[in-house]
Amino acid sequence: MNRLLTISSQLRGYDRDVFRSDLSAGLTVGVMLIPQGMAYAMIAGLPPIYGLYAALIPIVVYALLGTSRQLAVGPVAMVSLLVAAGVAPIAGDDPARYLALALLVTLMVGAIQFVLGVARFGFLTNFLSHPVLSGFTSAAALIIGLSQLKHLLGVSLPGSKYVHQVLWAAVTSLGSVQPETLAIGLVSILVLVGLRRWKKTFPGALTVVVLGTLVVWIAGLDEAGVRIVGDIPGGLPVPAIPSVALSDLSALLPTALAISLVGFMESIAVAKAFAAKHRYRVDANRELVALGAANLVGAVFQSYPTTGGFSRTAVNDQAGARTTLASLISAGVIGLTLLFLTPLFHYLPQAVLAAVIMVAVAGLFDVREMRYLWKVKRTDFALLVTTFVATLVLGIEEGILIGVVASLVLVIHETSRPHTAILGRLPGTDVYRNVLRHPQAVTRRDVTVIRVDAALYFGNVEYVRERLLTAAGSSDDVRTVVFDAYAVNRVDATAAHALIEVVDVLSERGVGFVVAGVKGPVMDVFRRAGVVDRLGPDSFLPDVHSAISAIAPGQATPIDFKNEPVS
């Protein structure tokens, strides 16, 4: 039981000071979750109450099973957008079917994450590279923000996953803007930004919710056309198993897979960041199990998919969270709200929730990461831009898929053309380095030393073969090629066979072939493939210097070196 419920290990040595910190953090995040949950439910295309449901049971389950002490689980903007993008085309205009499909997605996400965690398949999320995730997140921020224009302007806009369609509809509807609604939304944005700059832990979202609700109620602005949330059902969610149909399962599978991977990537990145800060470790596979269980149980209690969010986790940490008991306290705040406080949100203007969403997602547009990738590696920047544009132009799921495929194509392309270098000896040492980076390095006329910085496999074997033969033919004086294999950590059968062919071709030219720095596992393959028999054991040396010495022991006259000045 102690191994299953990780919270038990966190509570060992628990004292009053730690409880005070957890209590402060739990109350702060709980108050923050009320307006956030309702706002994010709107992004998912669900009534606001389902945002509170998503902020209740999943938090409790994760608090009991999760390995991160600061991670704040609940509804997040990106997952909410994925729900809307995946469910809306299938549900059509039927609200009841939309809700049923959203809950079914939660069940599927929970099952996928739980199974992946139990099977220790957490490494699969590595296929979502950081540039892909950053490009998708930045595009999602724009899509989410623009999706709230109808609530901010007080106009009716057609639902669309394409940014250009939303923008055009908003421009053509400017003449119908509801002034009071726009004023409430803009003031809410200014207040939220101001409060965030003043103090991040201050419940700015709840502040604008309370102020906006009071203004609409006192001034009767709902009668003037300001759209409000209206009646919100009270009480805790009633457990019910989501209905399952095979046709719905197949239709929703891409959406469930996308949410499972994207949600976990966001969650584990945040969890690891704060674990490093507080000097403890999180278990990726246990995190998958905990998030999966949270979504599985949450689906039974009418929750849509949840995961760990950065902004809430940051607030949770700053407010003093030391254990996941803080999350249980947050869930208690949501539970009390559902039981007693939902009537207070009747006059809450939708423009305020739109403002909460827009300010929350503004930070997701990662300009800093774009500048960083442009400076560090242009191919990664191109990958980010590709994902960003694909998500905006083609749609949410298509953007993720194109980003993943593009990143895999990039990896395949880079591994198919590995870095190679001609090496020379640094004067006065036994060290050999790339002559292009070290012009002072000494090379011999009759020996070429070439290094390959990659595993050798069927995908790059032709390129490596070409580089080895080119190195051998770089000069008529070359009599031996030394292959520095120290950076080669894996060889497949195709590469081993190609190496034998290279040896045969060089032998016909009268050029010898020596291998230096071979690792044990690679040597095992060379033995089984017949490379050692073909070259002879004496052709395998521990390092380049030993190989050069074995080729011409005692030969060190300056005339034998191209770049070394004659003394």
Q: Give the Cα separation of 83 and 41 in Å (integer).
A: 10
pLDDT digits (tens, 9 = 90+) for 135-189: 888 888 888 888 888 889 888 877 666 777 788 888 888 888 899 999 999 999 9
Q: Give the Cα separation of 434 and 279 in Å (integer).
A: 40
One-letter-per-residue 3-state SS of 393-457: HHCHHHHHHHHHHHHHHHHHHHHHCCCEEEEEECCCCCCEEECCCCCCCECECCEEEEEECCCEC
| Lowest-confidence region among 374-378, 385-389, 510-514, 556-560 | 556-560
Do 481 and 463 have their domain in common? yes
pTM more than 0.85: no
Do 271 and 360 have their domain in common? yes
Do 338 and 455 have their domain in common? no
Give how far Cα 296 sits from Cα of 6, 113, 196, 342, Å.
Answer: 18, 9, 34, 26
* Residue 513 parent element (H or E): strand 512-516
CATH code of the domain containing 469 = 3.30.750.24
Q: Which of 348, 383, 410 finishes a domain?
A: 410
Question: Residue 222 corresponds to which tokens in the numbers above?
Answer: 């709902």
CB-based contact 79:307 (threshold 8 Å): yes
Q: Which of 410, 432, 458 finishes a domain?
A: 410
Q: Give the Cα separation of 295 and 111 in Å (integer).
A: 8
One-letter-per-residue 3-state SS of 306-322: CEECHHHHHHHHHCCCC
CB-based contact 386:130 (threshold 8 Å): no
Do 220 and 259 have their domain in common? yes
**Which residues have a Cβ under 8 Å from the Cβ of 407 and sit 6 or more positions away?**
127, 129, 131, 132, 383
171 in a structural domain: yes
Confidence at 554, pLDDT banded by 50, 70, 90 = very low
pLDDT of residue 498: 94
Confidence at 129, pLDDT banded by 50, 70, 90 = confident
The torsion of the CA quartet 308, 309, 314, 316, rounded to 10 degrees, works out to -60
Residue range 318-324: mean pLDDT, rounded: 89
Do 487 and 514 have their domain in common? yes
pLDDT digits (tens, 9 = 90+) for 36-82: 899 999 989 999 999 999 999 999 999 999 999 999 999 998 899 89
Q: What are phi and psi of 482, to 5 degrees?
A: -100, 120
**Which has more pLDDT, 350 or 565?**
350
323 in a structural domain: yes
Residue 127 pLDDT > 80: no
Do 161 and 14 have their domain in common? yes
**Which has more pLDDT, 8 or 259?**
259
Do 346 and 487 have their domain in common? no
pLDDT digits (tens, 9 = 90+) for 329-366: 999 999 999 999 999 889 999 899 889 888 888 877 88
Do 309 and 286 have their domain in common? yes
Do 397 and 431 have their domain in common? no
Do 369 and 483 have their domain in common? no
One-letter-per-residue 3-state SS of 55-82: CCHHHHHHHHHCCCCCCCEECCHHHHHH
Please provide the average confidence, as pLDDT, over all residues in the chain: 88
Percentage with pLDDT > 70 across the chain: 96
Question: Residue 233 corresponds to which tokens in the numbers above?
Answer: 């059902």
Residue 559 pLDDT > 90: no
pLDDT of residue 556: 35
pLDDT of residue 161: 63
**Total structural domains within the chain:** 2
pLDDT of residue 553: 47
CB-based contact 504:465 (threshold 8 Å): no
CB-based contact 316:326 (threshold 8 Å): yes
**Which residues have a Cβ under 8 Å from the Cβ of 564 and sit 6 or more positions away?**
427, 442, 558
Question: Which range, 135-139, 378-382, 547-551, is most confident?
Answer: 378-382
pLDDT of residue 125: 67
Structural domain including 514 reads: 420-560
pLDDT digits (tens, 9 = 90+) for 487-544: 999 999 999 999 999 999 999 999 999 999 999 999 999 999 999 999 999 999 999 9
566 in a structural domain: no
Q: Give the Cα separation of 215 and 209 in Å (integer).
A: 10
Residue 567 pLDDT > 50: no
Residue range 315-323: mean pLDDT, rounded: 88
Q: Which of 378, 410, 442 finishes a domain?
A: 410
Residue 310 pLDDT > 90: no
217 in a structural domain: yes
pLDDT digits (tens, 9 = 90+) for 421-454: 999 999 989 999 999 999 999 988 889 999 999 9
Do 328 and 294 have their domain in common? yes
Q: What is the DSSP letter of 288?
A: H
Confidence at 566, pLDDT banded by 50, 70, 90 = very low
Do 399 and 425 have their domain in common? no
Please choose, from the candidates 304, 286, 262, the residue with its C-alpha nearest in 3D space to the C-alpha of residue 58.
304
